[in-house]
Amino acid sequence: MYASISRILSKRGLFVIDEADRRKTSFLTTGYKWALAESVGENNVGLSLHIGYDSIKGAFKRVFLNIKEKPRFITYEIFLWGLAEIATLTWIFFKSIDLINLEESRYFILGYRPKK
């Protein structure tokens, strides 16, 4: 679809994608585990806890801790398909892109000047 749209637009053409942040609206509000037992064994109990969400990167931020051994905290990000990947696909076929926030979880992804 991206290649076809890029091909039929004029040199100064504009491609607009109306996109929602599915990660935030779908995953965080429906069935997301804010606290999760990651591993349980004789010598360890590993938990992960939600500590934030970055809508631009589309990353869930979690901290992992082992509560049986000497406490260690490891912060990591989890990425699922979202705005960043759709914007990247747009950039492959257009010379310039923009991400415009319309509402809390709704964006326009704009592709300018198709690469053909």
> Residue with structure tokens 């965080």?
28
pTM over 0.95: no
pLDDT digits (tens, 9 = 90+) for 10-19: 988 999 988 8
On average, the pLDDT of the chain sits at: 82
Q: What is the pLDDT of residue 71?
A: 66
Q: Where are the domains of the chain?
A: 1-21+82-116, 31-80
Using an 8 Å Cβ cutoff, are 73 and 93 in contact? no
